[in-house]
Each structure stands twice: as structure tokens, then as C-alpha cells.
Amino acid sequence: MSKLKVDVLVESPLWKKPDYAIRVLMRAAEAVSVSPKTGRAIGPGDEICIVLLDDAQIAALNLKWRGKDAPTNVLSFPASPGPALRASR
């Protein structure tokens, strides 16, 4: 089985213990590295990027990508090949 490539970026100083958060997130990402849709384990080149933000930063991204002017807990984007993502504005 290929190893999942996990990147965790800490973009806000509000994350007081980023090293701990990064370790927990990497373990969680690796634990769920089997596709629920296909049952397939991670393949070559599969990766995930997790960005830790504050409310203002995530609200700006939520507005850009979903047209919703509010913070959200999670923004996710499709991993399968398909049409390019476009901002809502």
C-alpha cells in the first residue's frame, strides 16, 4: 500500500500547540486513507492538505468558494479528476 502524503499548514497564531495538532491530524488522515466509495487503499500520488486557520481566514475562503459569508468548520474539494475548481465570485 502507498503511503498517503499529508501536509498540514498552520496559518494562524491562534493554534497554540500546532505541533500536537499536526501529529493528531496526520494520524487521523492516515487512519481514514481508504476510500469509502471504492474500498481502495491510497494509490500512488494521493495526498491531502490540511490548513489550520482562524475564523476570519476561513470565512474569506468560504465566501470565495461557496458564496457564503461566514466561517465554517471544514472546506473540502473533490480529489478525483474532473473540471477545474472555480471560485463562486
Cβ partners under 8 Å of residue 79, min gap 6: 46
d(CA 33, CA 53): 23
pLDDT of residue 35: 66
pLDDT confidence of 4, banded at 50, 70, 90? confident
**Which is nearest to 15 in space by CA: 54, 60, 48?**
54
Q: Break the chain into its structural domains and give their ranges.
A: 5-66
Tell me the Cα Rg of the chain: 15
Q: Which residue has the higher pLDDT, 83 or 46?
A: 46
Exposed/middle/buried for 76, CB within 10 Å: 0-12, 13-18, 19+? Answer: exposed
Q: pLDDT tens digits, residue range 32-81?
A: 777 667 766 666 677 788 888 999 999 999 999 999 999 998 888 776 66
Q: Which residue has the higher pLDDT, 13 or 5?
A: 13
pLDDT of residue 53: 92
